[in-house]
Amino acid sequence: MEIICLQENFKKGINVVGNIIGKNLTLPILNNVLLTVEKKRLRLISTDLEMAITYWTPGKVKKEGEITMPAKLLSDFINNLPNKKIEIKTKDNSLHIKCENFKSVVKGIDSKEFPIIPKVRGGSILKIEALKLKQAFSQVVNFTSLSDIRPEISGVLIDFNSEGIKFVATDSFRLGEKTLSIKNETKTSVIIPLRTVQELIRILSEQGRDELVEILIEQNQILFKTPDIQLISRLIEGTYPNYEQLISKQFETNLILDRDEFLNTVKITSLFSSKINDLRLKVIPKKSLVEIFAQDTEIGENTSELKGEIKGKEVEIIFNHKYLLDGLNNIDSNKVILGLNGETNPGILKPVGDPGFVYVIMPIKL
């Protein structure tokens, strides 16, 4: 193969595909990226066997062909070259690279050893703007379970239904649900592995905000597609927990609090939490006040008071401060709603003015 392309294009490509390649000691070929010169383009492919990323970049093709190259070295090298033309050419199993005053010979591995990348031939489900998709994933991705015991919650659920698309993640202690109200005619739901979601967020962050991402699903595979990039991933098998009954619409106690003030008070008070991260909220509607309290026998204790619009019953409830903070950190409105139904039922945290996001948090029962 032989092609001339611009450093900035090659750099973008290697940065898009190179991130999922780690140091795989048992299968060294997985540390490599597959370069293919075909028609008028250079194609780069990487895979970790769970997902595969493909990127196409234009170039002046002199000879078609393919080779695999160590991704880490290629990325470090290409990223640091000046933004000029790069000439690349294979000779035996090496790649000869020329750029301005630099001349290199990099050893590769035959492309025949590279794993076969699956294809999704199913029809398109929908197209969605890159920024919207990224934001929806970002708002829930941190709530997935990291344990392998329940694989069905180790990813993000995407539920396509007549209202639009829901993105859901939980680790059984708290749950986040983001709804995008967009036109959608498919009714299906899939669970996407955490690593795939993280990679998608990374790649989407570098796309134009209005760039359309097409989603295709076939059996146990999902494909995300833009004109230059394709990410294909396996799906997680299993049934996602039936979480909807957790999201109450009616509350015995209803609070509207300033988001920053609430967040900061939780952060400060939690310094005094004991090892189980407990934070006690005492809601006193007639004083329009929440007392937030934490105590540890070795450290000491702290009480803070927070004013707000509070209606309904007086209640005392204990939350894990980390889960409260995670919820608040994923809400960017000025005011938040906290809905409670007694000390043993889950609390609901929602931004004021954005009906698309709901956060459910289980109380600690002492």
Residue from 8, 15, 38, 94 touching its own copies (CB under 8 A): that is: 94
Q: Which is nearer to its own copies, 28 or 238 (CB)?
A: 28
Residue from 146, 298, 344, 365 touching its own copies (CB under 8 A): that is: 298
Burial tier of 69 (Cβ tally within 10 Å: 0-12, 13-18, 19+): buried
Residue 191 vs residues 78, 230, 272: alpha-carbon distances, Å = 36, 18, 38
Give start and end residues of each alpha helix (H) in 142-284: 194-205, 259-269
Task: Tell whether the torsion through CA atoms of 268, 274, 278 and 279 is positive or negative.
Answer: negative
Residue from 50, 110, 301, 309 touching its own copies (CB under 8 A): that is: 301
Q: Which is nearer to its own copies, 218 or 291 (CB)?
A: 291
Q: Which is nearer to its own copies, 101 or 344 (CB)?
A: 101
Q: Which is nearer to its own copies, 133 or 266 (CB)?
A: 266
Structure-token pair, residue 26? 């048992």
Report the number of secondary-structure helices (H) and strands (E) in the chain: 6, 26
Residue from 267, 287, 311, 313 touching its own copies (CB under 8 A): that is: 267
Residues pairing with 349 in the sheet: 338, 359
Q: Which stretch binds its own copies (CB under 8 A): 75-83, 142-150, 155-163, 201-209?
A: 75-83
Residue from 4, 6, 29, 106 touching its own copies (CB under 8 A): that is: 106
Residue from 54, 265, 330, 341 touching its own copies (CB under 8 A): that is: 265
For residue 187, give every residue at least 6 positions away whose Cβ sits within 8 Å of its Cβ, in sequence order, or none. Answer: 160, 161, 162
Report in angstroms how near the CB of residue 24 gets to its own copies at its nearest: 16
Question: Per rule CB under 8 A, is residue 10 in the interface with its own copies?
Answer: no
Torsion angles phi and psi, residue 308, rounded to 5? -170, 175
C-alpha triplet 176, 236, 329: angle, nearest 5° = 20
Residue from 264, 277, 288, 345 touching its own copies (CB under 8 A): that is: 264
Question: Per rule CB under 8 A, is residue 287 in the interface with its own copies?
Answer: no
Residue from 73, 109, 180, 246 touching its own copies (CB under 8 A): that is: 73
Within a 13 Å sphere around the CA of 114, how many CA atoms are in the beta-carbon half?
22
Helix (H, G, I), strand (E, B) or coil at 243: coil
Q: Which is nearer to its own copies, 86 or 200 (CB)?
A: 86
Q: Which stretch binds its own copies (CB under 8 A): 69-77, 200-208, 222-230, 274-282?
A: 69-77
Tokens 């036109």 locate to: 183
Amino acid type, 172: S
Q: Which is nearer to its own copies, 79 or 172 (CB)?
A: 79
Report in angstroms how near the CB of residue 85 gets to its own copies at its nearest: 16
- Which is nearest to 167 in space by CA: 201, 138, 136? 136
Binding site residues, its own copies, CB under 8 A: 70, 73, 76-77, 80-81, 94, 101-107, 264-265, 267-269, 271-272, 298-306
